[in-house]
Amino acid sequence: MSLLTARNLSVGASTRSGDFPVISDLNFSLAPGKILGLVGESGAGKSMIGRTIAQFLPTGFSVTGGTLEFDGDNLVTMDSHKRRNLLGRDIVFIPQEPLSALNPVLTVGQQMREHLLRIGHTDQAPWRERALAAFESVHLPHGAGLLDKYPHQLSGGMCQRVLIAMAFASRPRLVIADEPTTALDVTIQARIVKLIAEMQKRDGTSVIFITHDLKLAAQICDEILVLYAGRPAERGPARALFSQPAHPYTRCLQLANPSMSGERRGLFTLPERMPGLRAIKDLTGCRFASRCPAVIPACREAEPPFLEIGPDHVAACIRPEIAATIMPPPPLPMPETASGEPLLSVDKVTKSFVTSWSLLRKTTEFRAVNEVSFALGENEFVGIVGESGSGKSTLARLVVGLDQPSGGRVVMAGRDVTANRRDDKAFRREHVQMVFQDPQSALNPRRRVASIVTQAIEAAGKRGDNTARLDRARQLLAEIGLPPEAALRFPSQLSGGQKQRVNIARALCAVPRILVADEIVSGLDVSVQAQLLDLLLRLRQERGFAMLFISHDLSVVRYLCDRVLVMYRGEVVESGRTEEVFSAPRHAYTRTLLSSVPPDDAQLDWSPDTVGDVAAGVR
């Protein structure tokens, strides 16, 4: 008996420029107490499935065929009143951004009370007890006045726990968790995933777990459905699908992710990107054909049928045996880093912020960065890992000169630039450039790409003529792998990955010797991430530069960086060659971090180190 069944479900969008398929040929059945993983890159239609279940599709989108049955009732044709009764009670959602999913002007208690009343809690008096019991089941510290706290007073992990407590308060039958951990730190992520699994077991709930992380899905799901451009590519039992992928896309996704164990292997970089909504309509044959490494002419002739691979395992590929033969390329070599005078040396740098200021009381200080020392050699890539609030980004700002250290020294190419005087600033500009995290907000939307990437010419005060600037821009774009015609586009006309390339090109324009990159691949799809990582390695080979690479993703750091610094609460708790630190961590915090990453082999048991003080999350 299945709880939720999709039969040939398809969703379409109708716009002024025509009708587009958004989701097609979706088939799955979710048994009670099971977890179904929906995996795919952004734009694949993962979230649209959640919205179809709730029937909250964006304007212009509608179900164009098939059925979606929940406990025998077709959700597609169900009247809105009946469906609204199911929502929040039998079908619940855990959102992606916990901080923004709670109303900022209501306390946690008020929101919990509203929800309890909604799901049929009638007596007024003991709602507090019931709320606290629900919070206790998600391991939130109670008694700490949690009910009277506003969402902004809690950390992201705590907000997510509140939302999970709300979701499970009615003992629902179906939970849809839409990337519930993407916005959270690795260590928190592991705990939240484990928590959802724990609650799911307690109530025997069915869960749809939407994620872009195939490895994570393989760990916690019973069944996985891989979506590509709105159509299932492969569906099967989680471990079977992960260990013997039968669709080239599944295999490529796996290989695009850097490994955490064994030899450092190359990343499989898929060319270009997934076709968008408008492009899908005009495609004939397999949607993945244009990017598939094993494509044959027959692939482009007709949409591939779903072939039975094994028990409950189907793949939309005409040659399912081919997936296993796709092999990763050899890894890009890591050049020997010259030992000698370091390019950058940071000596006992401290940055403190005054948190409360008063004439009468003693001022309290918060040390975001506490006596951190490290060196960066010529051509060396150094990774900085740690959770949010560990001081990674502050350290980056100190190096670039966006902030002034409260103590310590920063020496760059043999020159002490700590004081950051006028000439120090000019010197810094020539030597170090920063790539910001979010290309969306880092690129001025009113400037063309050519003008953005050559901003360094402006900054240096050289008024180059326009043709020279355009030539330089085209040269930079060629280096980062964008077509020359991109020079005259605006950022809004580029994809996320292309924007991040422009962001990198801008930093490279001044030919810096050091690049400081703050989480530049987080938030990008794995295939785009792989492209960017290889771009950085290739650029290092071609032109040579050192990089300080800040990331919360350990596998990326393992792939890219020669050395790694582990930061915790403003201090470097461990540092060394990446391979050594990751294979034999010495500090307890490094071990916690490493255990939070799901293992490469789905057969291995994942037991993240969940020891940790949740209460530390209260701000």
Partner 1 sequence: MFATIAKLLMKRLIVAIPILLVVSALLFIILRILPVDPAAMSLPPNATLAEIEAKRLEMGLHLPLIQQYGIWLAQVLHGNFGTSIHFRRDVASLVMTTLPSTIELAVFAMLIASIIGIAGGLILFHVRGTRKEAGLDFGSILLLSLPEFLWSLFLILLFGVALEWLPFTGRLSPGVERPTITGFLLLDSLLAGKPAVFWNAVQHMLLPCFALGISFSPSIMRVLRSSLLDVYQDDYIHQARLRGLSERRILIRHGLKNAILPTLSLMGVQFGFLFGGTLLVEVIYSYPGMGNLMVDAIRNADLPIIQAVGLTYCIVVLVISIAVDSLYLILNPKLRVR
**What is the CA 155 to chain-centroid distance, rounded?**
18
Q: Which residue's structure tokens are 């785009």?
A: 528
Residues 559-578 that bind partner 1 (CB under 8 A): none
> Of 364, 366, 525, 510, which Cα lies nearest the Cα of 433?
510
Contact status: 172 vs partner 1 (CB under 8 A): no
In sequence order, what E strands does 332-470 have? Answer: 344-356, 364-376, 381-385, 407-412, 415-416, 432-435
DSSP track, 495-538: -HHHHHHHHHHHHHTT--SEEEEESTTTTS-HHHHHHHHHHHHH
Shortest Cβ 89–partner 1 spacing (Å): 7
Minimum Å gap between C-beta 148 and partner 1 is 10
Distance CA 113, CA 129 (A): 11
Does 303 sit near partner 1 (CB under 8 A)? Answer: no
x/- track of binding to partner 1 for residues 438-477 (CB under 8 A): ----------------------------------------
Strands 563-568 vs 571-577: parallel, antiparallel or unpaired: antiparallel
Considering only 71, 73, 114, 571, the residue that binds partner 1 (CB under 8 A) is: 114
Q: Which is nearer to partner 1, 89 or 130 (CB)?
A: 89
Q: What is the Cα–Cα distance from 277 to 497, expressed in whole angstroms? A: 18
Please tell me whether residue 546 binds partner 1 under the rule CB under 8 A.
Answer: no
Q: Can you tell me which of 1, 105, 125, 359 binds partner 1, judged by CB under 8 A? A: 105
Query: Is 353 among the residues that bind partner 1 (CB under 8 A)?
Result: no
- 97 sits near partner 1 (criterion: CB under 8 A): yes
Binding segment for partner 1 among 79-87, 477-485, 555-563, 581-589 (CB under 8 A)? 79-87
By CB under 8 A, tell whether 56 contacts partner 1. yes
Judged by CB, which is closer to partner 1: 105, or 125?
105
| Spatial separation of the C-alpha atoms in residues 441 and 422, rounded to whole Å | 28
Which of 115, 273, 392, 540 contacts partner 1 by CB under 8 A? 115
One DSSP character per residue, 167-202 reads HHTT--SEEEEESTTTTS-HHHHHHHHHHHHHHHHH
135 lies in the binding site for partner 1 (CB under 8 A): no
Q: Could you say which of 92, 220, 432, 532 contacts partner 1 (CB under 8 A)?
A: 92
Contact between 166 and partner 1 by CB under 8 A: the answer reads yes
Q: Which residues contact 263 (CB under 8 A, 6 or more apart)?
A: none
Q: Are 102 and 117 in contact (CB under 8 A)?
A: no
| Member of 12, 88, 401, 405 binding partner 1 (CB under 8 A) | 88
Stretch that binds partner 1, among 100-108, 219-227, 392-400, 421-429 (CB under 8 A): 100-108
Query: In this chain, which stretch among 92-100, 310-318, 523-531, 591-599 interacts with partner 1, using CB under 8 A?
Result: 92-100
Window of 94-102, 358-366, 572-580, 583-591 that interacts with partner 1 by CB under 8 A: 94-102
**546, 548, 551, 556 alpha-carbon torsion, rounded to 10°:** 20
Applying CB under 8 A, among 6, 86, 162, 524 the residue interacting with partner 1 is 86
Site membership for partner 1, residue 95 (CB under 8 A)? yes
Smallest gap from Cβ 490 to partner 1, in A, equals 23
Strand order, beta sheet including 381-385: 432-435, 514-518, 546-550, 381-385, 563-568, 571-577
# of chain residues touching partner 1 (CB under 8 A): 31
As beta bridge partners, residue 104 has none
Q: Are 108 and 162 in contact (CB under 8 A)?
A: yes
Q: How far apart are CA 209 and CA 182, in angstroms?
A: 12
Least CB distance from residue 526 to partner 1, whole Å?
24
C-alpha separations of 404 from 215, 342, 369 in Å: 41, 21, 12
**Out of 31, 57, 78, 101, which residue is the one contacting partner 1 (CB under 8 A)?**
101
Could you give phi then psi for residue 402, rounded to 5 degrees? -75, -25
Is 152 an interacting residue with respect to partner 1 (CB under 8 A)?
Answer: yes
Contact string 235-274 vs partner 1 (x = CB under 8 A): ----------------------------------------
Q: Name the residues that contact partner 1, by CB under 8 A.
A: 54, 56, 59, 84-89, 92-93, 95-97, 100-107, 114-115, 118, 150, 152-153, 163, 166, 619
